[in-house]
Structure 1
Amino acid sequence: MKQLTGIDASFLYMETPEMPMHVAGLHIYEPPAELPGSFFHHFRDFFLSRMHLAPVFEKKLARTVLELDHPGWVDAGEMDLDYHIKRATLPAPGSFAQLEQMVGELHAVPLDRSRPLWQITVIDGLGDGNVAVYSKMHHAAIDGGAGMAIAAALFDMSPEPRKVKPPEPKKPTRKPTIEERAILGINDAVQNVMRQQLKAMEAIPQMLGTVTDMLLPKKSESGGGLPGIPDVLAPKTPFNVTITSQRSFAAREMSLTDAKFVAKATGAKINDVVMAICAGALRPYLSERKALPKRPLVAFVPISLRKPGDAEASNQVFGMLCPIATEIADPLERLQAIRRTAGDSKALAGTVKDVSPKDYTLLGAPILLPGLAQLYGRIGLADVMPSTTNLTISNVAGPPFPLYCAGARILALYPVSIPVHGIALNITVQSYLDKLDFGITADKRAVPDAAKLADLLVAALAELKSAVETMPKPVQN
């Protein structure tokens, strides 16, 4: 059994019926011409021939004895593939709005923990003749970097699928007795606690040095005395509420070339432009509802800790808090403010992430922590508690070349992510080819009109591009 790290297991402990902890993708496929039979059966056969390339597909959770420590992954054995690979058909006319609604409904359904924690739904009936594939996997098993590794196993770079080695026959293994599991489980739990305590003690000098560096006055990019420490609390918004079990979803594609044009002209990074697009959409969205705070909204921005070449299916993420200047009306001034604060926030996150724990052990965590998560949602603490962030904004770099799966060309890679109690809105972006594929995932009560917010994202990039085009040209000597 391979035990989950504390970070991986946290996604299990946080999960409640209102807060499923799976991430997903909505991929749009252009089916091969003159394909005999249905694309669903074609895709299913193809997937089964590749499934062994990503071992996570054939693993399920196993609890430790007495649930003293984090669970682990074990071989799933025989699998019910009808549960894991499903088919759905949109009613006529098969519009994109109907697809978004179906994805929101599928995304609200938690995964069955007695099975491997993934599920794929092939959706046909689209009016344009394309096919959508919605695939979800529990966040306990995967982060964005590991997702790209799985994609590398399933996707090809040409319509002709590459040949792969068939799976090797599995060797039978002896299952430990109940007595052996009990002894191993208790010993492992005690050893894990001792190991984590020793690591914490070893990290104390570095942590004290980091705190001292943070408190000493420094020159930051934004000109302040501290390295970009944001306000302790974010302003209250309609997104900072207890969420329900229903989801809204919307997806839009935008020009990566336009985003690069804006970045180059303003000295910003693509990630800065992405946050500026989100800020440019949220400002009118909240203004119309008379809910735009005078202080800037604060975004939680995940940061990958994954080293190049690391394809392990586990979570290796950190994060930073970044004010996104929603109080500024001018789009270019807003972008420059984001560029400064993002630079400061990333510098601050860089000083903290090296001393932050990458794992933890807490005796009885599988019992204690889920109870606390359920209590937090049941009594509605997110409705009254102050928050340090208003929404999540994540930007994942994807391939600049076309991908194929089961001989079908992939047209779009829309992310579908996780809203949580107190942070009901998640905007995740995946670059692909010359596009930025935006996915808005939200609590349906907090954001019932995700499509309207998605349209405002498109308008925000157009506004930035127009503002750059009208910038004064530098004087030539």
Structure 2
Amino acid sequence: MADHMSPLDAVFLDLEDEEPEVSIATASIAVFEGPAPAKEEFLTAMGTRLRLMPRYRQKARQVPFDLGSPVWVDDPAFDLTYHVRRVALAPPGDDPVLHERIGDIMSQRLDRARPLWEYWVIEGLSGGRWALLSKVHPCLADGMSGTYPNQAIFDKSPAGGAEPPQDVWTPGPEPSTLSLAAGALRDLLLSPLEQARMIGRALAAPHATIRRVADTARGLIALTGALWPANASTLTGPISAYRRYAVARASLTDVRKIAHRADVTVNDVALSAISGGFRYLLLQRGEEPHARAARSLVPVSGRARGEEGGYENRVSLMPAFLPVHVADPVERLRVVHEHLAELKASRQAQVEEAMAALAGHEPFLPISWGLRLAAHLPQRHIVTVTTNVRGPREPLYLLGRRVLEILPYVPIALRLRTGVSICTYGDQIAFGVTGDYDSAPEVEPFARTIENELQALSLACRPNPALAVVTPLRSKGARPRRVAKRPSTGTKAPLRPATTKPR
């Protein structure tokens, strides 16, 4: 039986259809200690482990006339050797060479007639290392569940894990175009009954329903502010099909110390540093970094703790302005923290969750056509996208080789010229910067600016021997604020950097 995509998953296919030259595949790049496994050894291992991921042997099929959402069907011609590829870097195999290769691979679209993923074994990294690039279409796995394939193919010890069951996979019959259309028509006839059941469930729990409606109404009112266009800048505009890529790295322990001492979250610290990167871009291009110059889509996971695995997208997106107008790193961190707290309190995420739930019970045709129409309208509201995936703290292994680091990649589309992805693994936090090859070539200095911003925050948030221990001052209904007590007078002074200059 065909398995229908969720409305959110189908959005990604429609989005790519509207930009036929642009790839919106996402990726993670695991860098390993050497040596790289032989071709047959790796193919055998992947063939065994992919038994745990049946979706990786299925392809997407459109339903005729958009009568229903696309479906997943078994690929009777599935060929593992097509999806597992191998390439070697030119000497010296350092970061710039690796990043250039990643940009080349991610510029190419996945074949829509096949399962929407590829694995690339990249040999020849400096220091005897090698890498595995996992390239996946976002309709197959979103940013929050994108670590699921890694959990399936990686081991938690050099000795490996338990072998998957040795079953023999037999693809199911591929449905005909006629049967897909007939199934969609049947679902359309049953749609009113499903809507009636949904209303009945809501009436059976009136208090919870009223609370959800109130939260959604609050979020909808707040979300109307996001319809106001961002200030015009070179951060948005037409893009090509080709990409540049760079990486910034930092110690997760150091970032957590900053977050602890400033009484904010790790995500706040990361977004503050990214804001510094966009401020750098605007200043380098001779543009004024206005307060409304850089609005980013910030994903919020809809999964509960322990539900990170799986295929279906469960992510809400909050539009957040990055405070590129603030020169002082510490002040910028405070603004980020307060702005995100306001967005979360506004219930904007609940609006998208409610709309996605409602879309699952509505005919797909008007939803699809509406999305395609929106894709053709001028996009002036969102300037960039920022993703954040939390990886494991414990080391991972594959075929006895230890994973040294995991690097993230986020795609760009719809006039967004730069995107940033964040991934943690072990004690490292990595920022993957994606840029359009022609209109956003400064990905490398952008990445270095992120590192510099984190260093400035680390220096600014160090405990000062001349002051007492820094403690948060809280009052009911007030936002968190860090203060420092002077031993001699007991007066309070806001924490400010003493060793960095505003940019």
**Fold match (TM-score > 0.5):** yes
Cα distance between partner residues in 2 of 1:215 and 1:150: 35
> Residue 475 in 1 paired to residue 503 in 2?
no
Distance 1:265 1:172, change over 3 A: closer
Give the gaps of 5 or more residues in structure 2: 204-208, 469-484, 491-503
Residue of structure 1 equivalent to 2:8: 7
Structure 1, unaligned runs of 5 or more? 217-225
- Map of 1:450 onto structure 2: 443
Structure 2 CA distance, aligned partners of 1:319 and 1:445?
A: 27
Match of 2:392 among 399, 402, 406: 399
Does the 8 A contact of 1:14 with 1:369 survive in 2?
Answer: no
Q: Which residue of 2 aligns with 1:69?
A: 68
Tell me the TM-score normalised to structure 1 length.
Answer: 0.87
Q: How much does 1:354 deviate?
A: 4.9
Aligned to 1:86: 85
Task: Kindly provide the amino acid, as one letter, of the partner of residue 119 in structure 1.
Answer: E
Note the C-alpha offset of 1:122. Answer: 0.7
* Stretch of structure 1 that moved more, 90-99 or 58-67: 58-67
Q: Distance in 2 between matches of 1:86 and 1:215?
A: 46
Partner of 2:27: 24
* 1:246-265 alignment runs, 5 A limit: 246-265=242-261
Question: Pairwise mapping of residues 317-336 of structure 1 onto structure 2 (< 5 A)?
Answer: 317-336=315-334
Matched-pair contact (CA < 8 Å) for 2:279–2:289: no
CA distance in 2, matches of 1:327, 1:3: 45
Choose 390-399 or 431-440, whichever is displaced more.
390-399
Q: Kindly provide the amino acid, as one letter, of the partner of residue 76 in structure 1.
A: D
Per-residue CA distance 1:178-226 (angstroms, 9 max, x = gap)? 765543231124434774698599699667634654699xxxxxxxxx8
Check whether the contact 2:28–2:134 (CA below 8 A) recurs between aligned residues.
Answer: yes
What is the CA–CA distance in structure 2 between the aligned matches of 1:97 and 1:447, rounded to whole Å?
A: 16
Note if contact 1:301-1:394 (Cα within 8 Å) is conserved in structure 2. yes
- Alpha-carbon distance between aligned partners in 2 of 1:110 and 1:196, rounded to the nearest angstrom: 37
Determine the C-alpha separation between the residues in 2 that align with 1:27 and 1:407.
14
Code of the aligned partner of 1:69: G
**RMSD over equivalenced CA pairs, Å:** 3.0
Question: Counterparts of 1:182 and 1:452 in 2: how far apart (Å)?
Answer: 51
Residue equivalent to 1:357 = 356
1:153 and 1:328, CA in 2 relative to 1: closer, same or farther beyond 3 A?
same
Distance 1:366 1:209 in 2: 24
**How far does residue 395 in structure 1 lie from its aligned partner after superposition?**
1.6
> Structure 1's 446 and 196: CA in aligned 2 closer, same or farther, altered over 3 A?
farther
Classify the secondary structure of the residue corresponding to 2:269: helix
For residue 443 of structure 1, what is the amino acid of its counterpart?
D
How big is the shift at 1:248? 1.0
> Structure 2 residue aligned with 1:386, among 380, 387, 397?
380
SS of residue paired to 2:356: coil
CA distance in 1, matches of 2:175, 2:322: 53
Contact kept in structure 2, 1:244 and 1:443, CA below 8 Å: yes
Whose relative contact order is higher, 1 or 2, with alpha carbons under 8 Å and at least 6 apart? 1
Report the equivalent of 1:282: 278
CA 1:196–1:76 in 2, change beyond 3 Å: closer, same or farther?
A: farther
Q: 2:301 aligns with which of 290, 299, 304?
A: 304
Contact 1:305–1:318 under 8 Å retained in 2: yes
Residue identity in the other structure for 1:475 = R
Per mean C-alpha deviation after superposition, the further-off stretch among 306-315 and 265-274 is 306-315
Structure-2 residue corresponding to 1:240:
236
Partner SS state of residue 424, structure 2: strand
Residue 238 of structure 1 deviates from its aligned partner by 1.6
Cα deviations by residue, 1:449-474 (Å, 9 ceiling, x for unpaired) = 21111111111111111111276543
Q: CA 1:159 to 1:184, structure 2 compared with 1: closer, same or farther past 3 Å?
A: same
Q: Which residue of 2 aligns with 1:269?
A: 265
Alignment of 1:31-180 (within 5 A): 31=34, 38-170=37-169, 180=179
Deviation at 1:144, TM superposition (A): 2.4
Aligned equivalents of 1:106, 1:215: Cα separation in 2:
39
1:420 to 393, 408, 413: 413
Contact in 2 for aligned 1:124/1:131 (Cα 8 Å)? yes
What is the CA deviation profile of residues 81-139 of structure 1, one whole-angstrom value per residue up to 9, with x for unaligned ones?
A: 23201111111222210110111111011111111110111111222210011111111
Q: How far does the alpha carbon of each residue in 1:406-461 deviate from its partner, in whole angstroms, 9 at most, with x for none?
A: 22111111111111113221111001111101111122222112111111111111
Given the alignment of the two structures, is residue 209 of structure 1 paired with residue 210 of structure 2, yes or no?
no
The one-letter code sitting in structure 1 at the alignment partner of 2:321 is P
Distance in 2, matches of 1:14 and 1:178, equals: 23
8 Å CA contact retained: 2:73, 2:174 = no
State the TM-score, normalizing by the size of structure 2: 0.82
State how 1:430-445 maps to structure 2 within 5 Å.
430-445=423-438
1:172 CA drift (Å)? 7.2
Q: Report percent identity of matched pairs.
A: 26
1:272 partner SS: helix
CA distance in 1, matches of 2:264, 2:224: 17
